Each structure stands twice: as structure tokens, then as C-alpha cells.
Amino acid sequence: MELVCPAGTPSALRTAVDAGADAVYCGFRDETNARNFPGLNFTPQELAQGVAYAHDRGAKVLVAINTFARAGGTNLWHRAVAQAIEARADALILADLGLLAWASRAYPAQRLHLSVQAAAATPPAIRFYAERYGIKRVVLPRVLTVNEIAGIVAEIPCEAEVFAFGGLCVMTEGRCLLSSYATGESPNMNGVCSPAAHVDYRQEGTTLAARLGGFTIDRYSAGQPAAYPTLCKGTFMVDGKANHIFEEPTSLNVLEILPALKAAGVSALKIEGRQRGKAYLAAVVRQFRSALDALEAGRTLPASTLGALTEGGRETTGAYKKTWR
Amino acid sequence: MVDMAPSSSGVPNAAFGIGKGSLPWPIATFMSTLPLAPLEIAGNQVLRTALDCRPGMFSRLDVYSGKLFAIDPVDCPFVFLLEPRVENPSLRVRTSLDGVSWDARISAVMLVLLGLLDGTYDGDALFFTRDLVIEGDTAAVLALRNAIEDAELDPGLLLGAPNLAAPIVSGSIRRAANVMRRLLGAPTSAQVPVGTFP
């Protein structure tokens, strides 16, 4: 299985490649990618340099252009596709139907991957993208069991990539409106859920209050692990009780089920976290590199040492091992 | 801009000794007797050296380069005020944030802040464990964090060591810092794995 790792900056790209990534994914410094955070991402020149660095060391670079193009503003997305190809990107990760159609016509030789933002989770949907636009790989949503993934892989004419570590999104990706509700901006259109400009942390005595778009979405008492300020991980009052109704702050980690994912026919594992630093990248990429090498060699897999890098200090195999359906 | 009084933050500037990895109180007490001017001069020298080596570092901040960042080592009797302007950035040192209108405040113990500067620590992991506190303009903090992450500010580079000697200096400083972090109980698990840096 290919190890696909995040890179929010050129420095992160080099760190990921040096730590053993088979491929690195990144995006431009604008709304064309779904991690459009301040200070993050690549200029076209930085991308070209990053691709050269990766290629020199046998790694690939995948460029995420995976938001949905604005009406009247499609030139920005078309230009991003052209710039990524000019930089010699190995594949483009797209979600927008119109952009997929345009890119597949304008650059028929370019390898295209279907972003998780497209929320394609059934064989007919994935086959449509493969047959119509020639996508070579689909990134599957994080809501499927391993058995469901195996069933899908058996019926699609392209590779399947699944999330392996990091943020755990339980929404129908590309269609989540929670962030829009609170801030007027969304990952689908603007490239950010919980845009940092709408996030506010306040110390209230020993309690940390996290606010998004003016809504207090959680409070953490002294010593309690904090989470990303997303509405899906907020605390809500239901029947008089405060609880996490969408998802609890926790991180996905599939280390213990790598053999099952391989048996299911998964082609690539995606590490989440373009917003994370080099310390995270080096630790996670090294651990997964070591685990995948052990898996290939038939050795015992290493135990996870990544707990402290996780959100809420907790790890989960998420829907991959869900037992409630 | 946020009118800041230390008492309103919950992370009071005078609360030396809070947080994992705090410098021992005799050191903090001793530091409080020292004049700030030499520290400010040294800090500006480090800033100039960093920009000489990484001239584009603050351009990554884009619209946030004009913000005023209060960088607060909570175990030390001083705070840094950074204005990371692309042209003519400035670093000032003050004993407190009384009367200072900052845009964003970043608080942690000194060993953690230094580890963030050279990429030893992952900022998000420190935030999850509450070893790092941010207040004010979150977008500006993210932009600064990402700019510093990308700059690869090795300790040897920051201290102006010659190119050939910089990796040796960096390695020595990192090893010494790791020993101090271990002795003082600083967060260790959010750190980059040993051997990642020279």
C-alpha cells in the first residue's frame, strides 16, 4: 500500500519525503484546496521545487484542487490545474464535476484522483467518475467499514485510497454545511471548516472557552484535553444534557487494522493533517512507514506510539471497525 | 486590537512556575533582577540573523504581518512583543503586558516556546494537551506558526553559526534542550522523534 502524506509547507514536504512517504499531497495558497489556512500551502514556484525534491528521492506529489469552483470564478481552478501540471505533479486530486470534465478534456494524459470531497461511496458513483473522467483512484469517505471497502474495491475499475491517521470526519464530505451555518464559509467552497478568522479562544478563569462565529462550541476545564474548534466536535445540549452529538474529539489510527485494509484491496493510505507541524509529520510518517514495511515483510506490526499527537488524546479505528451496523 | 490586562487572561504573566517544564523558580527570580535591554538586543540580533538566512519568512504571514504578537513565556519575568513586518520587523521585551494592545497572545513555558521555534514540538498537539494557550486573533497565530514551521529555524542558524558548524551547534543545543525538558518535566510526547534533526 502506498503511504500518502500531507504537506502544508515546502518544509513539511521535505520532512514527509525524508521520513519515508511514498507520495505527498499539497495544495496552492488559495481557495482551490480544502486546507486554505493562513500561512499554509504552496506558490506555483514552491510546488515546482517541492516536486523536484520529491522526484529526486523517488516520491510522488499529488496536488489537491478539491474545492468546488465558484460560479463566475472557474478561471482560478483552471489555472491551478495548469500550474500543477506545469510543476510536474504526479496526480491531481479533484472533486468538482465541472473541473473533472474540464481537466480530463484539456489534459487527457494527466492522472486524476477523486477527492473525498466528492463523497463517492458506492460502486456506481465511483464507476461513473472512472468511466466518464478517467479517474485512476478514489479517496473513500471515513464512514465505511472494512468489509464495505472490500465490497467497493471489488466492483470498481480504479484504486482505492483510505484515511489512515488524523482527523476523523463523519460527515458526507463536500456537503457538510455546519461551518457555513456558523461562519458563512465552508470547506467545500472556501477551503476551510472553522476558518481561523472566526475562531476565538478565551480563558474564563481556569476554563478555556472555544468559540466559532460567535457561538461558544465547547468549554474545557483545567487539564481537560482540547479539540479543534469545529462544530461537529462541539458540545450540544440535548434533553438537558451536554454532550458530543456528532463526534467526540479523537483521532483516527488504523495501525492495528492494516492487514485487514490490505486484504480489502486498499491501494493507498492517507495521513491527514496538512495543518500540522514537522514534529507530527516526522512521527506519524515514520511509524506508518515502519508498519507498512513490517506488513510487507510479514513481521509483527509495531504498537502505536502516536497517542500524544492525537486530538483529545484518544485514538479510534472509527467506522472501519464499527459494530453498530 | 485587544486591550489586555494580564488578570483577564487566566494565564497571568506573573504566574511563574505554571505549566509542565517550567524553569525552576530561583532561575525566574534571578532573571527578574536582570535588565531587559540586553535580552532585547540579543533577541533582535537573532531576528535579524533569521531574516538574513530566510528573507521570505514573514511574507508567508501575508495580511497578518502587521499584527502585534505577545509571546509570553509564562515561567519567565518578561514577555516578547513581535511585529513580524516583512520590512523592518521588530521585537521588544517588556516585564508585563499591562497597557499593551496586542492582537494575539501565545503562552507556554519557555522550553516549549523554544521547541516550537525550531520545530521540535507540534503546536496542535501542545494545544490539545493545553501546554500551549492562544488568545486573540487565531488566524494570525496560525499564519505565524506556519511561517516559522516553514522557515526551518535551526538553533545553529539562529545563533549565527557558520554554515559548516551550524548542524553541530544545532545538534548540541537540541540534545541539551532535550535533557532540560526531561529534567524539568516538559511535554515530551509532542516532540519530533529523536534523530529527525542532525
**Domain ranges within chain A, ordered by starting residue:** 2-168+250-321, 178-243
Q: Is the pLDDT of residue B4 over 60?
A: no
Please indicate if any CB of chain A lies within 8 Å of the CB of B120.
yes
Total number of domains in chain B: 1
Q: What is the pLDDT of residue A314?
A: 86
**Which residues of chain B make contact with A251, given a CB cutoff of 8 A?**
none
| Residues 6+ away with beta carbon under 8 Å from B176 | none
- Band of the pLDDT at A133, cuts 50, 70, 90? very high
**Which residues of chain A make contact with B191, given a CB cutoff of 8 A?**
279
Q: What is the pLDDT of residue B190?
A: 59
- CB atoms A39 and B60 under 8 Å: yes
What is the chain A residue with the closest CA to B196? A282
Tell me the one-letter amino acid at A75.
Answer: N
Of B47, B48, B38, B104, the C-alpha closest to B72 is B104
Maximum pairwise Cα distance, chain A:
59
Grid cell at residue A219: 468549554
- CATH number of the domain where residue B68 is located: 3.30.1050.10
Q: How far is CA B21 from CA A219, B17, B178, in A?
A: 25, 9, 11
- State the pairing for strand pair B79-83/B90-94: antiparallel
Q: Let me know how long chain A is.
A: 325
Q: Is the pLDDT of residue B7 over 80?
A: no
Phi-psi region of A41 (alpha: psi -120 to 50; beta: other; left: phi over 0): left
Long-range interactions of B114-118: CB distance < 8 A, separation 24+: B114/B177, B115/B177, B115/B181, B115/B186, B115/B191, B116/B145, B116/B148, B117/B148, B117/B153, B117/B158, B118/B153, B118/B154, B118/B155, B118/B158, B118/B170, B118/B174
> Using an 8 Å Cβ cutoff, are A111 and A135 in contact?
no
Which residue, chain included where needed, has cell 463523519? A170
Q: Is the pLDDT of residue B13 over 70?
A: no
What is the chain B residue with the closest CA to A9? B150
**Mean pLDDT throughout B114-139?**
90
**Mean pLDDT throughout A6-10?**
96
Handedness of CA B62, B65, B70, B75 (dihedral sign): positive
Q: What is the pLDDT of residue A166?
A: 92
The overall average pLDDT reported for chain A is 92
pLDDT in tens, A52-78: 999 999 999 999 999 999 899 999 999
What is d(CA A31, CA A77) in angstroms, rounded to the nearest whole number?
9
Which residue range(s) make up the domain with B52? 21-184
**Which residues of chain B make contact with A276, given a CB cutoff of 8 A?**
122, 124
Q: What is the pLDDT of residue B51?
A: 92
Q: Is the pLDDT of residue B58 over 90?
A: yes
CA distance B37 to chain A (A): 31
Burial of B91 by CB count in 10 Å (0-12 exposed, 13-18 middle, 19+ buried)?
A: buried
**Mean pLDDT throughout A136-146?**
95
Please indicate if any CB of chain A lies within 8 Å of the CB of B66.
no
3-state secondary structure B34-91: CCCHHHHHHHHHHHHHHHHHCCCHHHHHHHHCCCCEEEEECCCCCEEEEECCCCCCEE
Is B104 inside a domain boundary? Answer: yes
Among B129, B144, B150, the residue with its CB nearest the CB of A10 is B150
Is B151 inside a domain boundary? Answer: yes
Q: What is the pLDDT of residue A79?
A: 98
**Mean pLDDT throughout A108-134?**
97
What is d(CA A60, CA B180) in angstroms, rounded to the nearest whole number?
39
| Residues 6+ away with beta carbon under 8 Å from A62 | A4, A23, A24, A25, A26, A89, A90, A91, A92, A93, A113
- Percent of chain B residues topping a pLDDT of 90: 54
Among B64, B122, B127, the residue with its CB nearest the CB of A226 is B127
**Which residues of chain A make contact with B2, given a CB cutoff of 8 A?**
none
Q: How far is CA B26 from the centre of its chain?
A: 21
**Mean pLDDT throughout A310-314?**
84
**Which residues of chain A make contact with B137, given a CB cutoff of 8 A?**
197
Q: Which of B149, B153, B189, B194 to mutate to test the interface with A (most CBs of A within 10 A)?
A: B149
**Mean pLDDT throughout B175-198?**
75
Q: Is the pLDDT of residue B198 over 80?
A: no
What is the chain A residue with the closest CA to B7? A205
- CB atoms B129 and A308 under 8 Å: yes
Q: A2-168+250-321 maps to which CATH number?
A: 3.20.20.70
What is d(CA A192, CA A194) in angstroms, rounded to the nearest whole number?
6
Q: Which of A201, A220, A224, A284 to mutate to test the interface with B (most CBs of B within 10 A)?
A: A201
**Mean pLDDT throughout B56-74?**
94
- CB atoms A307 and B133 under 8 Å: no
- CB atoms A279 and B142 under 8 Å: no
Is B9 inside a domain boundary? Answer: no
Q: Nearest 5°: phi and psi at A94?
A: -120, 160
Q: Which of A190, A280, A284, A310 to mutate to test the interface with B (most CBs of B within 10 A)?
A: A280
- Band of the pLDDT at B16, cuts 50, 70, 90? very low
**Mean pLDDT throughout A224-231?**
86
Is B3 inside a domain boundary? Answer: no
- Band of the pLDDT at B192, cuts 50, 70, 90? low
Is B70 inside a domain boundary? Answer: yes
pLDDT in tens, A177-203: 888 888 988 888 877 788 888 999 988
CA distance B161 to chain A (A): 21
What H or E segment, with its residue span, contains residue B175?
Answer: helix B166-184
